[in-house]
Amino acid sequence: MATAPTITPASTQGLRRELGLASTTSAVIGGIIAVGIFLTPAGMAKALGSPMWLLLVWLVIGAMTLSGALCFGELAGRFPRAGGAYIYLKECYGRRIAFLFGWMCLLVMDPAITASLASGLAGYFAYIVPLPPLLIKLVGIAAIWALCLMNIFSIRMSAGFLRWTTWLKLGLLGFLTVWAFAFRLGSWSNFVPFVAQRPGSLPLAPALAVGVVGAFFSFGGWWDVSKIAGEVRDPGRTLPRALLLGLLAVTVVYVVVSAVFLYLVPLEKVTSDQTFVAQAGEVLFGPTGGVVFAAIVVICLVGSLSALIISAPRVYYAMANDGLFLHAVARTHPRFGTPANAIAIQGSIASLLILLGNFEQIISYALFIVVFFLGLTVSGLFLLRSRRQASESVILTPGYPATPLAFLLLVATMLVLVAVRTPRGALLGVVVVLAGLPVYEILRRRTPSVAGVEPII
């Protein structure tokens, strides 16, 4: 298939297409693998009580997540502009729905996750170098602004940094695996019985619910890479490949790391996420295991924070281009060609949340609505297929319509599980998003010259 020439829409004229397949794949991997890789397997293993069920959950949720990523790859090829799901929702459902997604990203999800990652980074750093509480917060804020400034100065420099941290992260995890098995630091008997659940585990149905929720959010963040489509070379081909390679790599990493932890620590000795990590670290490296693991976690968090700061501001930039946010945010830096004002906004709100210290509660409110918007975005693919022909440069979703339906089944399951588990948080998340409706009406009336895009439905 011949590669069509890249067309840069008017809304992204200020952005430079400098990212290739390696950088984009790094953004996928770096945005997913964070501290959860060390904490989530413990809770899943304890609940499921069976190595086989743990393996199946990782593989099934990984495959269903990949189905959604392939749909995003087609959407990115159809609309190769900065903004990701914001752009896709606008094209499918109109500016109002897209604005509500952007509103949620701007004021709720992106700054809160940025603050959470930075605070976690600073906390693990303080485990290596003891610091008082105020300095821990300042370390987190300093990490945010160091990465923000790097992103303002050069997207190429930021992508290079992300590549190196991602490969270092994978290399360290590979080292842990080789170290554990080569020196026979654990026991293969920990995998026996392989199928039957151990005493003390949950009944299979609630255990699977815990495993599905844990696995789904462990893969969370893969969709963020679509937000940088305006800076990816040949996005119609590069983004689908990056999503495929990235999610396959992450699935393998999760399965291998879970196996290493089970090899090192018997399931019956697992009491909590943190003690599980400490136990594994002690088996691997003796009394200094905690410090070694803390250093590895810091590297993982730096990569994830870097990926988020690269991707998130592109939504605000796209909103501003549509006249639905401050006009200054639509401007790129005259020298560096980056959305400097959008990046500064993310850094400022995240820094404020670190000082206030209430970002974890904000994230819990947003989980339900984030999953809902993911499902709504993938559902838009059915509308696009029925109304529009894709150009030859677009890689169509393989296995359509089974592929998007598989992901929507996962989304529906997650919505039910999250709503049942935290009904108050789900309701508050919906209320926060709906609060953006009057703001949208005000902005729409103040920018009558922006015609917007008519929705397909």
DSSP 53-107: HHHHHHHHHHHHHHHHHHHHHHHHHHS-STTTHHHHHHHHH-HHHHHHHHHHIII
Q: Is the pLDDT of residue 10 over 60?
A: no
Are the C-beta atoms of 84 and 224 separated by less than 8 Å? yes
- Determine the average pLDDT of the residues in 307-322: 92
Condensed to tens digits (0 to 9), the pLDDT of residues 94-120 reads: 999 999 999 999 888 899 899 999 998
Indicate the SS3 state at residue 235.
helix
Residue 250 included in any domain: yes
Report pLDDT for 17: 85
pLDDT attached to residue 315? 94
Q: How confident is the model at residue 388 (pLDDT cuts 50, 70, 90)?
A: low
Q: Which tokens hold the place of 7? A: 């067309």
51 inside domain: yes
pLDDT-derived band at 364, boundaries 50, 70, 90 = confident
* DSSP letter assigned to residue 109: I
Residue 59 has what pLDDT? Answer: 96
Q: Is residue 457 part of a domain?
A: no
Residue 7 in domain: no
Residue 135: which CATH number?
1.20.1740.10
Residue 3 inside a domain? The answer is no
State yes or no: pLDDT of 137 exceeds 90. yes
Q: Are 272 and 44 in contact (CB under 8 A)?
A: no
Question: Quick one: DSSP state of residue 306?
Answer: H
Mean pLDDT, residues 178-205? 90
Query: What pLDDT does residue 326 have?
Result: 85
Q: Is 96 left (phi over 0), alpha (psi -120 to 50) or beta?
A: alpha
pLDDT at 381 over 70: yes
> What would the pLDDT profile of 57-85 be if each residue is shown by its tens digit?
999 999 999 999 999 999 998 998 889 99
Shortest CA distance to 357 belongs to which of 177, 118, 143?
Answer: 118
Whether residue 20 contacts residue 233, with contact meaning beta carbons closer than 8 Å, is answered with: yes
Query: Rounded mean pLDDT of 142-166?
Result: 93
Provide the pLDDT for residue 6: 37
Task: Give the structural domain span for 127.
Answer: 17-446
Per the rule left: phi > 0, alpha: psi between -120 and 50, beta: everything else, 202 is beta
Whole-number pLDDT of residue 273: 66
Contacts of 177 (CB under 8 A, 6+ apart): 256, 257, 260
Side chain identity at 1, as an amino acid letter? M
Using the predicted structure, report yes or no on whether residue 14 has a pLDDT greater than 70: no
Residue matched to tokens 């970002």? 359
Across 197-220, average pLDDT: 91
Q: Exposed, middle or buried, 189 (CB in 10 Å: 0-12/13-18/19+)? A: exposed
Q: Binning pLDDT at 50, 70 and 90, where does residue 377 land?
A: very high
pLDDT, one tens digit per residue, over 279-308 is 788 888 888 877 888 888 899 999 999 999
Q: Assign 390 a pLDDT band (cuts: 50, 70, 90).
A: low
pTM: 0.88
**Arithmetic mean of pLDDT, 247-270:** 90
Q: What is the pLDDT of residue 392?
A: 65
Evaluate if residue 263 carries a pLDDT over 90. Answer: yes
The total number of residues written for the chain in this structure:
457
User: Residue 274 has what pLDDT?
Assistant: 65
**What phi and psi, each to the nearest 5 degrees, are found at residue 186?**
-120, -155
- What would the pLDDT profile of 436-449 be if each residue is shown by its tens digit? 999 999 888 876 54
| 127 vs 150: CA distance, rounded Å | 26
Close Cβ partners of 144 (under 8 Å, ≥ 6 residues apart): 114, 115, 118, 305, 309, 347, 350, 351, 354
**Domain count of the chain?**
1
**Residues 404-415: tens digit of each pLDDT:** 999 999 999 999
- Mean pLDDT on 397-405: 94
- Report the alpha-carbon distance of residue 201 to residue 445 in Å, rounded: 57
Kindly state the average pLDDT of the residues 145-150: 96
* Residue 249 contacts residue 65 (beta carbons within 8 Å): no
Contact assessment for residue 210 and residue 56, using Cβ atoms and an 8 Å cutoff:
no
Q: Quick check: is 451 in a domain? A: no
| pLDDT, mean over the chain | 87
- Using the predicted structure, report yes or no on whether residue 452 has a pLDDT greater than 60: no
364 is a domain residue: yes
Q: What pLDDT score does 35 carry?
A: 77
CA nearest 52: which of 178, 181, 193? Answer: 193
pLDDT above 90 as % of the chain: 57
| Residue 453: predicted pLDDT | 42
Residue 200 has pLDDT above 60, yes or no: yes
Question: Does any domain span residue 6?
Answer: no
Question: 232 by DSSP, 3-state: which?
Answer: strand
